[in-house]
Amino acid sequence: MRTIVVTGGGAGIGRAVAMLAAARGDRVAVLDIVESSAQQTAADALGAGADRALGIACDVSSEESVQAAFENIASGLGPLYGVFANAGMDAGGFVHELPWEVWRRVTDTNLTGVFLTCKYGLRQMLAGGQPGSIVCTSSPAASVGFAAGAAGAYSASKGGISALVRCMAVDYARYGIRVNAVVPGATETKLMWANVEPAARPAMRQRICEEVPLGRLASPEEPARAVVWLLSEESSYVTGSHLVCDGGILAKASISV
């Protein structure tokens, strides 16, 4: 049985990955800053076929919290095979107006959170002496600036994740540990609307659907299927890659002629 850890597993893409892993019979550790959400996903994962499941409260920006979570996983689920380092947040603002506290909160959660998750995941994988797979959530914002603007902190954090993925892929290939990134586009999650007022969301959804080449937002299950593939042996020769699941956003020029 494989043990899979999912951060940000209480909702959105993280929850979808936990449920798909459960359907494969994996043991699933669901980490989320909201304990009740983590525990609910874990309970649902058991119902979906998980061999075992744990729901653990974890603040990925805190080393103590991440370390304690992985110790809990080791004792409760056994040797670690896969990690989906996914927990993240977004807070907008133009750089010249962005409070340092907001910059730090975004980068601490998104970039430092991925670093800490990978740090303790890798320690367990190396101790176990078995091959494994890590997938980190990046974004189109790691490669291009969003047309709406005011995404400097988020974009910087995701660019850092993409660079970290490439470095870890090279560093840990010798141990049989693969490291890749998934690059979701516009996906119907709470994070998608974090900086959009509720009244403006219908118009924003329509505009996004007009601009995305596939003409719609993704469901959380769509990028989740890409993640589960990267976590599986089916992608055994894939490392250091970015699997783009964005409906064609990065393939599209920003001008219409």
Q: What is the pLDDT of residue 239?
A: 98
Residue 58 and residue 66 in contact, taking contact as beta carbons nearer than 8 Å: yes
Q: What is the pLDDT of residue 184?
A: 97
180 sits in which H/E element = strand 177-184
Residue 87 and residue 32 in contact, taking contact as beta carbons nearer than 8 Å: yes
Q: For residue 204, what pLDDT band results from cuts at 50, 70 and 90? A: confident
Short-list 219, 192, 180, 179, CA closest to 16 = 219
The answer as to whether 255 is a domain residue is no
Q: What is the pLDDT of residue 257?
A: 67
Q: Does residue 73 register a pLDDT over 90?
A: yes
Is-catalytic flag, 175? no
Q: What is the pLDDT of residue 44?
A: 98
The dihedral of CA 28, 29, 33, 37: what is its sign? positive
Mean pLDDT to the nearest integer, 104-112: 98
Residue 187 and residue 17 in contact, taking contact as beta carbons nearer than 8 Å: no
d(CA 61, CA 223): 24
For a pLDDT cut of 70, what percent of the chain falls above it?
99
The answer as to whether 169 is a domain residue is yes
Q: CA of 87: how far to CAs of 96, 99, 184, 185, 208, in Å?
A: 26, 22, 13, 16, 24
Q: Does residue 54 register a pLDDT over 90?
A: yes
Residue 240 and residue 170 in contact, taking contact as beta carbons nearer than 8 Å: yes
Q: Which residues partner with 179 through β-bridges?
A: 134
Total domains, the chain:
1
Q: Where are the alpha helices (H) located in the chain, listed in sequence order?
A: 12-23, 35-48, 63-77, 100-107, 113-128, 152-172, 201-211, 221-231
For residue range 228-257, list pLDDT tens digits in order: 999 999 999 999 999 999 999 999 988 776
Q: Which residue has the tokens 């291009």?
A: 144
- CATH number of the domain at 198, please: 3.40.50.720
Which residue out of 154, 172, 175, 237 is catalytically annotated? 154
Q: Does residue 212 register a pLDDT over 90?
A: yes
What is this structure's pTM? 0.96
Average pLDDT, the chain: 95
For residue range 114-159, list pLDDT tens digits in order: 999 999 999 999 999 999 999 999 999 999 998 888 999 999 999 9
The answer as to whether 251 is a domain residue is no
The answer as to whether 229 is a domain residue is yes
For a pLDDT cut of 90, what percent of the chain falls above it?
88
Q: What is the pLDDT of residue 215?
A: 96
The answer as to whether 116 is a domain residue is yes
The answer as to whether 257 is a domain residue is no
The answer as to whether 250 is a domain residue is no
Q: For residue 199, what pLDDT band results from cuts at 50, 70 and 90? A: confident
Tokens linked to 106? 């975004």
Domain enclosing residue 96, as ranges: 3-245
Produce one character per residue of 191-210: b if its CB has 16 or more CB atoms within 10 Å, e if not: bbeeeeeeeeeeeebeebee
d(CA 219, CA 38): 20
Residue 94 and residue 102 in contact, taking contact as beta carbons nearer than 8 Å: no
Short-list 54, 60, 88, 91, CA closest to 74 = 54
